[in-house]
Chain A
């Protein structure tokens, strides 16, 4: 007798699980999809949707850089290159180069942790697609500048909006920088 009840029970289980399963999947037809349709149909701009501590492209507010090159030493993959030189006339230290190769950067954030002034920080930018990988070297020093002199107890109004990094990113079809044209080597550290 138990075999018969088991048999009937199996049929009943099949029928009820059909009933329940079909109702669950049908209810999902009426629910809002989870998908964020980046980049076409998003409710608000993508950088407002990203979390506060998002690690995007590195940005340097060069006005507040003291030229300690702690970031360069902290970088595990050497994607930061900074050069300091003496001014030929006055003999003061001058910051001549601050390049970050974001195509190599792994966004670990170690450089931002060691930066004493916080002028090196992550932005929320991540859209840097480019036809030439060399264009992803962001150059933050146009003309040699004097390093910042840090004073105790002073707030540094560092620009963290991402506008500096955004202005350094190049257009997708921009030609490669002259020193790289004709070669595929984008290696900063040699």
Chain B
């Protein structure tokens, strides 16, 4: 961060801020600017993704989705946000008002704090902390505090149940996610997010996910745990509409409600970026070394694009899961964590350690294992695409007969 500020000031004003009287002020200004950039990124991402998700959900349900505000309904997120800003910020009469008012900001801080150590590309990171991934796990705990505060202080049974469920869920799922992060830390030998990415390669078989069968399993355990920590749908028990009205957010309205949901949508980026950083090679460009990537500006830009594309694919995956799977019951959720994910994560750690002891991943057996894992994954992916095609084809002719129009209507053809 400091070096980045130095470079920026050097580039723009032609002088080094080192040794100035107001060096600290300069750094402060740069820090605030960076914060603003990240905040705007998070806000835009959260807003636009809320629209994109609704459109995707609509198409999966044979609907059209929001299409009235702006071209193709693109400004729906602005309209929703504006509407909520204009609403009255109600504090229930029995509420514990200081906690009630503070709770959304804890949730927001827990989400936005992660952006400090979250890289966006080669040398594009606010602070390359040497305890990066540990920091990320720790700072997301703020979200739990905020949700419990909101649930407790609302003086509402639904909100309280939501808060308690959320506490149970987030605390339990920290364990499998922490253990699977440990697998990656074992492979890298570093907690820094940038070091983790640099230890991987640009091509799929150089990613940590294909290191061994254990890392493949660890990836899926991490995805599941990340979904649970982000309160995404198979695990959205804290805000289960059919049971708890809106869970911990039941009593909130207006701006504070926006803050809760802003944090939830922006968290989508955080969890997807973490999946990409830990298992999917981060911003590594194929056939380009780390040194070359960090020293050329257009390669840095390319690394940013690669990172964003990978993250957006994961975002789509998370959305896809949300609109496919039904919500788990609370006992199923706890059982899944403690009897399936935690033991499996431990097995993953042990297995990875054993495999690392047997063969380094650059040796021939290590490469063979990676290649094999990649081939299996590619086979499963192709099989899945064939299954998608089969499901589509099984209805195509009947639809054409009934409706007179072809069934084919791909997502890029906007309705």
Q: Which residues of A contact B (CB under 8 A)?
A: 7, 10-11, 18-35, 37, 41
Q: Indicate the size class of the contact surface on chain B.
A: 35 or more
Per the 8 Å Cβ criterion, residues 132-187 of B in contact with A are none
Q: A25-B323, A32-B405 are in contact. Are A37 and B415 (CB under 8 A)?
A: yes
In the bound complex, do residue B62 and residue A29 qualify as a contact, i.e. CB atoms below 8 Å apart?
A: no
In the bound complex, do residue A31 and residue B407 qualify as a contact, i.e. CB atoms below 8 Å apart?
A: yes
**Most chain A Cβ neighbours within 10 Å, of B59, B403, B407:** B59
- Report A6 CB to chain B, min CB distance, Å: 11
- Report B286 CB to chain A, min CB distance, Å: 27
Could you tell me the distance between the alpha carbons of A153 and B67 in the complex, rounded to whole angstroms?
55
- Report A4 CB to chain B, min CB distance, Å: 12
- Report A104 CB to chain B, min CB distance, Å: 31
List the A side residues contacting B410 at CB < 8 Å.
29-30
In the bound complex, do residue A29 and residue B415 qualify as a contact, i.e. CB atoms below 8 Å apart?
A: no
- In this assembly, does B395 line the interface, its C-beta being within 8 Å of a C-beta of chain A? yes
Tell which of B63, B320, B389, B399 touches A33, judged by Cβ atoms closer than 8 Å.
B63
What are 8 A-B contacts with C-beta separation under 8 Å? A23-B387, A29-B56, A29-B410, A30-B392, A31-B395, A33-B63, A33-B64, A33-B415
Q: A35-B415, A37-B415 are in contact. Are A30 and B324 (CB under 8 A)?
A: no
What is the 8 Å Cβ interface bit string for chain B, positions 88-118, against chain A (1 contact, 0 not)? 0000000000000000000000000000000
In the bound complex, do residue B384 and residue A19 qualify as a contact, i.e. CB atoms below 8 Å apart?
A: yes
Per the 8 Å Cβ criterion, residues 360-402 of B in contact with A are 380, 384, 387-392, 395, 399
Q: Is the interface of B mostly helix, strand, loop or mixed?
A: helix
**Most chain B Cβ neighbours within 10 Å, of A18, A19, A25, A37:** A25
In the bound complex, do residue B62 and residue A31 qualify as a contact, i.e. CB atoms below 8 Å apart?
A: yes
In the bound complex, do residue A23 and residue B391 qualify as a contact, i.e. CB atoms below 8 Å apart?
A: yes
Q: Is the interface of A mostly helix, strand, loop or mixed?
A: helix
In the bound complex, do residue B387 and residue A20 qualify as a contact, i.e. CB atoms below 8 Å apart?
A: yes
List the A side residues contacting B60 at CB < 8 Å.
25, 28-29
Instruction: Please name the residue on chain A nearest to B405 by beta carbon.
Output: A32
What is the 8 Å Cβ interface bit string for chain B, positions 305-331, against chain A (1 contact, 0 not)? 000000000000000110111000000
List the B side residues contacting A33 at CB < 8 Å.
58-59, 62-64, 409, 415
- Report A21 CB to chain B, min CB distance, Å: 5
- Report B347 CB to chain A, min CB distance, Å: 12
- Report A7 CB to chain B, min CB distance, Å: 8
Could you tell me the distance between the alpha carbons of A28 and B324 in the complex, rounded to whole angstroms?
11
Q: A20-B387, A30-B411 are in contact. Are A25 and B62 (CB under 8 A)?
A: no
- Report B380 CB to chain A, min CB distance, Å: 8
List the A side residues contacting B388 at CB < 8 Å.
23, 26-27
- Report A72 CB to chain B, min CB distance, Å: 42
- In this assembly, does B32 line the interface, its C-beta being within 8 Å of a C-beta of chain A? no
Q: A22-B321, A22-B324 are in contact. Are A32 and B407 (CB under 8 A)?
A: yes
- Report A31 CB to chain B, min CB distance, Å: 5
In the bound complex, do residue A29 and residue B59 qualify as a contact, i.e. CB atoms below 8 Å apart?
A: yes
In the bound complex, do residue A21 and residue B63 qualify as a contact, i.e. CB atoms below 8 Å apart?
A: no
Could you tell me the distance between the alpha carbons of A29 and B391 in the complex, rounded to whole angstroms?
11
List the B side residues contacting A34 at CB < 8 Å.
62-63
- In this assembly, does B408 line the interface, its C-beta being within 8 Å of a C-beta of chain A? yes
- Report B376 CB to chain A, min CB distance, Å: 13
Could you tell me the distance between the alpha carbons of A27 and B415 in the complex, rounded to whole angstroms?
17
List the A side residues contacting B389 at CB < 8 Å.
27
Could you tell me the distance between the alpha carbons of A5 and B123 in the complex, rounded to whole angstroms?
48
Beyond A31-B395, A31-B409, list 8 extra A-B contacts (CB 8 Å).
Answer: A7-B339, A10-B340, A23-B384, A26-B320, A29-B60, A31-B392, A32-B399, A32-B406
In the bound complex, do residue B409 and residue A30 qualify as a contact, i.e. CB atoms below 8 Å apart?
A: yes
- Report B68 CB to chain A, min CB distance, Å: 9
Could you tell me the distance between the alpha carbons of A27 and B320 in the complex, rounded to whole angstroms?
12
Tell which of A10, A11, A28, A37 touches B62, judged by Cβ atoms closer than 8 Å.
A28
